[in-house]
Amino acid sequence: MAMEYQCCETGFVIGIIIVASLVLFAGLMSGLTMGLMSLSLVDLEVLAKSGTPSDSKHATKILSVVRRQHLLLCTLLICNAAAMEALPIFLDSLVSAWGAILISVTLILMFGEIIPQAVCTRYGLAIGAKVAPFVQILVWICFPVAYPISKLLDLLLGEGHEALFRRAELKTLVDLHGNEAGKGGELTRDETTIIAGALELSEKTAMDAMTPISETFAVNINAKLDRDVMKLIMEKGHGRVPVYHERLENIIGLILVKNLLTIHPADEVPVKNITIRRIPR
């Protein structure tokens, strides 16, 4: 039967300190399990190389601890379980058995699970960086027990969880940034359009980039560059205009619109009298 201490005795005070320490330790382990294990290696690598100065510093500290994910997970869970199992033992010397069970469940639920996990989910990067040396010590202490379990998990589940984004996932991520462009996002809509186009490039064929001949704007070689034709060329806004002979399908070359700047519409210069560049075939 456990020894019960009276209030304000030295043993009672020590028991309170031990109970509080166990609750805080269990809460820290629970919070770190949620905070550190939710950070993928890809996210940490990105933050370490291109994050803000503070995020980059924090991510660099955490990477050395998180790289062996199963070993870290086993260490945190073992420490958390040890603290929670020890808590009722010390509480039993302070209060009755039913009181010990009730208080331990309440303390663990509020201060050992809910609050630490909520805080570490929100500030996991900063907290993880602060306690990284302490976690590394725990890994060394629990290594004889945690290492065999982690190796078994590596064999069963695989060692790495650093799956990179697939092309479709990257495109969706860029689209999300594009949707936030008008709300103060760091990427503008034009930038997201360019990035999305580059991601789709490998799936495009030459036909996707071609304009049907029926929709192509071109001028007849026998036409005159009068006011109407010049106006039409300017309205189309192309830098190069194909030139055809008799029928649209018979493209014989192209003219550069910038070469038309010296031509006055009133002169009605024939198209065949200006420089027509040959099209490589």
Question: Which of 166, 165, 128 lies closest to 42, judged by CA?
Answer: 165
Q: Which domains does the chain possess?
A: 10-157 (no CATH), 167-206 (no CATH), 211-273 (3.10.580.10)
Q: Per-residue confidence of the chain (281 residues) as pLDDT tens digits?
A: 444 545 556 767 787 888 888 888 988 898 888 888 877 787 788 888 877 888 888 888 888 888 888 899 999 999 988 988 888 777 777 766 676 677 777 777 887 788 888 888 888 888 888 888 999 999 999 999 999 999 998 888 876 655 566 777 777 777 777 666 555 556 777 788 888 778 777 778 888 878 888 888 999 999 999 999 999 988 988 889 999 998 888 999 999 999 888 888 888 889 888 888 988 77
Here the tokens at position 29 are: 């382990």
pTM of the model: 0.58
pLDDT score of 219: 92
Question: CB within 8 A of 248, min separation 6: which ones?
Answer: 213, 214, 216, 218
CA-CA distance, 108 to 79, in Å (whole number)?
A: 14
Taking CA atoms, 134 is separated from 36, 137, 247, in Å, by 14, 5, 80
Asked whether 70 and 138 are in contact (CB, 8 A), the reply is: no
Q: How far separated are the first and last CA of the chain, in Å rounded?
A: 98
Question: Which of 99, 73, 75 lies closest to 19, judged by CA?
Answer: 99
CA-CA distance, 251 to 279, in Å (whole number)?
A: 9
Largest alpha-carbon pair distance within the chain?
115
Query: For the segment 144-170, what is each residue's pLDDT rounded down to a tens digit?
Result: 999 999 999 888 887 665 556 677 777
